[in-house]
Structure 1
Amino acid sequence: MNTPVRVALVAITKHGAQQTADLARQMPEASVCVADKFAPLMAGLSNPVRAYSGPFRDEIGALMADFDQVVFFVSLGAVVRLIAPHLKSKDEDPGVLVVDDAAQFVIPVLSGHVGGANAMAEHVAALLGATAVLTTASDVGKTIPVDILGRELGWKVEAPKINITRVSAHVVNGEPIALVQEAGSPHWWTRPTPLPANIHTFTRFADVDLAQFKAVLWITDAEVPVERWTALPERLVVYRPPCADVA
């Protein structure tokens, strides 16, 4: 069972608080964080409301620690400065998003892929009738997100971080990539467009001519010998579907 995503909607101005209240009505599972003087604007909401009275900067540490997604109705520059002292790593930081003052654009600022900010931006934008401004190359290019492939299906990525970095670059740069699926659900590609032309699919690793490909994405439940990792330095990423996930 998926763990519910903890979302905070945050504002520091009266106008921002009004926008936050409008969004909160469409996201009853989200918490709201506003200055106590704007708390009355949240009347009638079923959402939990976190009203603060001190400096706003004192709230940032708790917001970053307590939530998976933090949606700020605050200027982008201010958000960057506020969150900077609290950043840890892409594996630990929550998704951080900014909504502009006219609620026309939703911008993922931090943890777009691993933290889920890109997906949340598209969700929030749909609710607001806004545009999600995605800058992550794999999203803009409509190609495979190497670091989170199959995550919604429970797949686990298995590879050194340098492999993920290098292979991600090869994917977005249009280099020839072999994708070998020997296990797991075949329903992992959910975009309306076909797989990019540089992604070549196989059902057996043995069928891949490794000299023809810059990298290999291997979806398998087989053991990967050390020799295979050694033979494909910084070129191999392995995905492990759950045992019950059948093709």
Structure 2
Amino acid sequence: MTLHLQEGKQIELNSSKPFAVVAITKHGVELARHLHATFQQTDLFYMSKFEQGDEDQRRIQLFEGNVRMLLPALFSSYKGIIVIISLGAVVRMIAPLLKDKKTDPAVVVIDDKGKHVISVLSGHLGGANELTRELADHLKATPVITTASDVQQTIPVDLFGQKFGWVWESSEKLTPVSAAVVNEEPVAIIQESGERNWWNYKKPLPNSLTVYKTFDEAIAAKPNAALIISHRILTEKEEELLQNGVLYRPKVIVLGIGCNRGTSMEEIEAVILSTLEELRFSVKSVKDVCSITLKQDEAGILALAQKYQWPFTCYSPEQLNSVKIKNPSDTVYKFTGAYGVSEPAALLHSGADSLILTKKKSGNVTLSVALITHS
């Protein structure tokens, strides 16, 4: 199939892969075909005058016209775009398409000979830096990455903990805190929960980054910025550090749920949100919900899990009975085959020795809360 690019005409693409490769020269097309054959997660686009006859078989898209008119469709359809065109031309073509670093796709430029791979756009959040390294390694080329935190081998504030699933409470202070980190200003790190193996470099943590055991110690140090990793709702005093700080929410909360058949999502949700508020825990730190296999088709729980994008795991009665709980119930056993549901499910799934909330009964819902700990 050949796309005919015309000024002012909107192009709709049915992209099946996360990345697009684009080429407009003879040597660029050869390099692009090589990448397309070896990187399975790419769709390939090149000019029809370089057609080789196997494009339909390999699902390669040909186009006629100015490649500039193809880029808007690629921007809206792909996670990343690999362009084998000169850097200056790419910068001019993508300039009108730029919106926000949180939504713009990764853009990587490769020269015609495959000697340099350049991270151009969305290096961190969009993954262009990582893609650049991967492509350069494959092509035996030189990666060109200019992001300060990558060059200095320090914490990338906007990506900190992302590989573990951490999320920001707010992105408001990402830019000033990032500046403090790369400029080697005093930055406090306070971690109450979440994965501990976040320092990925062989060198020691820079002297400008100090890990404090308590908020009081960090506040007393008067740092220029702060990185806080916690599942808790902070106190007013602790929030002083957020004047120039970023709060990360690690995924450490496990919710064990039991409910009567047909309980609505709204009722289950209300119990969870009110309980987390009582515990002063953030809903953003919920990792999973779990229950018994009898509830694997429970519409209310399934709808809740889908709404919050929480994995939903169910355990058999035998698995739940393998966990020791304080108050086993003969009544629950009579109906489910397990001596408890929410308590053993939360313990089993979290690997915790004890529960933060043993069991709360509210209306048609029973809820237990556990925390995943990381050494």
TM-score normalized with structure 1 length: 0.89
Q: CA distance change for structure 1 residues 10 and 246 in 2, over 3 Å: closer, same or farther?
A: farther
Could you list the per-position Cα deviations for residues 163-212 of structure 1 after superposition, in whole angstroms to 9, with x for gaps in the alignment?
A: 11111111001111111111111122222332222111134323324444
Q: Structure 1 stretches of 5 or more lacking a match? A: none
Paired letter, 1:240: R
Corresponding position of 1:35: 47
Alignment: residue pair count: 241
Corresponding position of 1:168: 178
- SS at the partner of 1:148? coil
- SS at the partner of 2:184? coil
Matches within 5 A, 1:45-84: 48-84=59-95
Q: Structure 2 stretches of 5 or more lacking a match? A: 1-15, 253-286, 288-371
Corresponding position of 1:107: 118
Structure-2 separation of matches of 1:195 and 1:31: 40
Choose from 228, 236, 239 the match for 2:248. Answer: 239
Q: Give 4+ residue runs of structure 1 displaced > 3 Å after superposition.
A: 41-46, 209-212, 225-229
Paired letter, 1:16: G
Choose from 189, 205, 211 the match for 1:195. Answer: 205
Shift of 1:51: 1.4
Structure 1 position 186 matched with structure 2 position 187: no
Q: CA distance change for structure 1 residues 211 and 119 in 2, over 3 Å: closer, same or farther?
A: same
Q: CA distance change for structure 1 residues 54 and 189 in 2, over 3 Å: closer, same or farther?
A: same
Structure-1 separation of matches of 2:188 and 2:53: 54
Q: CA distance change for structure 1 residues 45 and 158 in 2, over 3 Å: closer, same or farther?
A: farther
User: Using CA pairs below 8 Å that are at least 6 residues apart, which structure has the higher relative contact order?
Assistant: 1
- SS at the partner of 2:158? helix
1:9–1:31 CA contact under 8 A, matched in 2: yes
Matches within 5 A, 1:111-130: 111-130=122-141
Structure-1 separation of matches of 2:174 and 2:113: 37
Could you list the per-position Cα deviations for residues 16-45 of structure 1 after superposition, in whole angstroms to 9, with x for gaps in the alignment?
A: 000111222220221111112224276598
TM-score normalized with structure 2 length: 0.60
Corresponding position of 1:147: 158
Could you list the per-position Cα deviations for residues 211-246 of structure 1 after superposition, in whole angstroms to 9, with x for gaps in the alignment?
A: 4411110000010245544x3464111100113464
Paired letter, 1:74: I
1:94–1:110 CA contact under 8 A, matched in 2: yes
1:26–1:127 CA contact under 8 A, matched in 2: no
Structure-2 separation of matches of 1:42 and 1:91: 37
1:166–1:235 CA contact under 8 A, matched in 2: yes
Paired letter, 1:237: V
Identity across aligned pairs (percent)? Answer: 39
Structure-1 separation of matches of 2:119 and 2:69: 22
Which segment drifts farther, 132-141 or 236-245? 236-245
Structure-2 separation of matches of 1:213 and 1:142: 21
